[in-house]
Structure 1
Amino acid sequence: MAAAERFVPGKPMRVADPVVDVRSEPRGDAGIITQLLYGDDVLVFEDDNGWCWVQNERDGYVGYVVDTTLDRRSTDPTHIVIAPRTFVYPGSDLKFPRTRALSMGSLVTVIGGEERRGTLYGMLPSGEAVIAKHLVPIDEVTDDHVAVAETLMHTPYLWGGVSGFGIDCSGLVQLSLLMTGQPVLRDTDMQATSVGELIEPDRDYHNLQRGDFVFWKGHVAMMASHSMLVHASGHTMSVTLEPLRDAIERIDYLYGQPTAVRRL
């Protein structure tokens, strides 16, 4: 147990901006270590000079965020965004100018539905609207994390990113598994010791199957088939498909051979 002069109970708050950068220090030029999505619940342990030190309740990650990106928890979320990206409109009409854009994994409260010109909208407490087919109830999850990752193809690579606007390798794993109802830890080294079970690959990795996770030092990918993987690649700077054999050869000179393979 850690010793401290005092312990401060966290203040429950909720992310109110579409995507919030979490920084290593309370400065705008500090490095981004991860991100929070709209509707994420956090605990605030310190609020000083415009910056909050918070902990993400979903994965335990801590860091600094701008205080104006948080709001009190007023209503419980009912739905989760399943489209890579979706728009929020000031009312139930897609011709209205959008008010913001939300990423896959964002949580919203839907209080009803409206239809206009054949399009169904989920209505939010603010009177705003989201395309209903871009939402599902939060307890309706998919069972194929690879299919989730494949919907994010060509999403730009972003160090520390966890959203449909920009994502890194472990962020892709975390978001894909979140959409299957399986919250996991944030960083590659954490995932390499906690996601699924270790399996022993054969010499040529021929025994891998769709859904397996391949870890390198500082990188992770998931198998889209027995020979192809999908990952957020710093090589292409996007979410991309790549033959496993090519990835192993390309990554070897930087990070060596794969360090682990895990299967759900």
Structure 2
Amino acid sequence: MDRRVTPHSGRVALEALRGRVEAEAFVAGEAGAVAVPLVDLCASPGGARDRQVVLGEPLVVVERRGGHAFVQMGKDGYCGWLEAGAVGPALAATHWVAARGTHLYPEARVQAREMAALPFGARVVVLEEDGRWARVAGGFLPAMHLRRLGDWCDDPVAVAEGFLGVPYLWGGNSAAGIDCSGLVQAALLACGRDCPGDSDMQARMGAPVAAGDLRRGDLMFWKGHVAMVVDGARLIHANGHSMDVCHEGIEAAIARIAAQGGGPVTALRRV
């Protein structure tokens, strides 16, 4: 099984895996949510970052150990370890942050000193809204930066272009730093479409498409890399060459990646 999407910590597994894996204990799991703006989801407690998750995203806790929690994320099934303090109770979120980023303020006043930065995609419970400000637990957010859950965007490419210039970060999932699969996932989730977290998983989405029939929003894959088609000549991707999110000519990208040893395009998919 792929450990990235298998809710088995090495010691404890979810009950659904009984009979399929060996574990010291099987549990029903504890529903929760990410309780901090942004946190690394790691392959081991305090270990290497696999991905990042953001405030309000639902999860299931499989095991708690030594100041860390092994969880499975609700958005894509990805599993890994979070710092225990980053896990909070389940949240009946009402809205999501649809701006590239926003700030939490202690009062509904532009001049107030911000208390926290919330990333794109963060989920919150709006308690009250007056048109300009939305009151949430602990403070106020600019209402124009929020959308109701279910009020999705309609163009993944336009969402991805909102990240232009964001620095490349392996495993990153925010405007503080993002990688190729993180960009694609953010763009598709914002449009209400399911999307896994890594490019090899994303290469199994949708249906194959011919090179001569590429459309806006189609995905192009290389070994370990994914980009999104903007139009007949350009793509957008977070990449380790320019170290940011940028537009690049499709033919130029194909030639450059091949020349740098990244190989040919391995798949074209329409989602």
Give unpaired runs (5+ residues) of structure 2: 1-18
1:7-47 CA deviation, whole Å, 9 max, x = no partner?
A: 112111110111110111112xx211001110011111111
The correspondence for 2:69, drawn from 48, 52, 58, is 52
Pairwise CA distance, 1:125: 3.0
Structure 2 Cα separation of the partners of residues 97 and 63 of structure 1? 34
5 Å-filtered alignment, 1:86-125, equals: 86-114=102-130, 120-125=132-137
Q: Which amino acid aligns with 1:155?
A: V
TM-score with structure 2 setting the length? 0.90
**Structure 2: distance between partners of 1:222 and 1:80:** 23
Match among 148, 155, 161 for residue 144 of structure 1 = 155
Shift of 1:99: 0.6
Counterpart among 208, 211, 215 of residue 214 in structure 2:
208
Is 1:237 matched up with 2:256?
A: no
Q: d(CA) in 2 for partners of 1:132 and 1:14?
A: 22
Equivalent in the alignment of 1:170: 181
Give the superposition deviation at 1:183. Answer: 2.0
Structure 1: unaligned runs, 5 residues or longer? none
What are the Cα deviations for residues 83-127 of structure 1, in whole angstroms up to 9, with x where unaligned?
A: 101111011112111010011111011111236xxxx1111133x
Name the CA distance, whole Å, in 2 between partners of 1:149 and 1:222.
8
What residue in structure 2 maps to residue 246 of structure 1? 252
Which residues of 2 match residues 149-228 of structure 1 at below 5 A? 149-194=160-205, 196-202=206-212, 207-228=213-234
Q: How does 1:54-93 map to 2 (within 5 A)?
A: 54-73=71-90, 75-93=91-109
1:2 is matched with 20
- Residue 251 of structure 1 and its aligned partner are, at CA, apart by 0.6
Partner of 1:22: 41
106-115 vs 82-91, greater mean Cα deviation: 106-115
1:211-245, Cα deviation, whole Å (9 max, x unpaired): 11101110000011111000001111111000011
Looking at structure 2, the residues matched to 208 and 49 of structure 1 have their Cα atoms a distance apart, in angstroms, of 49
Q: In 2, distance between residues paired with 1:166 and 1:90?
A: 26
Q: Report if aligned partners of 1:85, 1:165 keep a CA contact under 8 Å in 2.
A: no
- AA partner of residue 31 (structure 1): A
Query: How far apart, CA to CA, are the structure 1 residues paired with 2:95 and 2:224?
Result: 33
The runs of at least 4 consecutive aligned structure 1 residues that moved more than 6 Å come to none
Q: Deviations over 1:40-94 (max 9, x none)?
A: 1111111111011111011111111100111112x41111111101111011112
What SS class does the counterpart of residue 160 from structure 2 fall into?
helix
Q: How many residues align?
A: 251
1:125 partner amino acid: A
CA distance in structure 2 between the partners assigned to 1:107 and 1:179 by the alignment: 12
Q: Is the 8 A contact 1:38 1:107 kept in 2?
A: yes
Alpha-carbon separation, structure 2, partners of 1:94 and 1:229: 37
TM-score (norm 1): 0.92
1:262 matched to 2:261? The reply is: no
SS in 2 for 1:230: strand
- SS of the aligned residue for 2:188 comes to helix
Query: Counterpart of 2:258 in 1: which secondary structure?
Result: helix
Letter of the 1:2 partner, please give it. R
State how far apart, in whole Å, the 1-side matches of 2:39 and 2:240 are: 22
CA positional deviation for 1:255: 1.8
Letter in 2 for 1:109: V
Cα-to-partner distance string for 1:164-205 (whole Å, 9 max, x where unaligned): 2211000000000010001211110000012x2111214xxx
Identity across aligned pairs (percent)? 38
Preserved CA contact (<8 Å) 1:172 1:231: yes
Looking at structure 1, the residues matched to 220 and 63 of structure 2 have their Cα atoms a distance apart, in angstroms, of 37
RMSD of aligned residue pairs (Cα, Å): 1.2
Cα offset, 1:208, TM superposition: 1.6
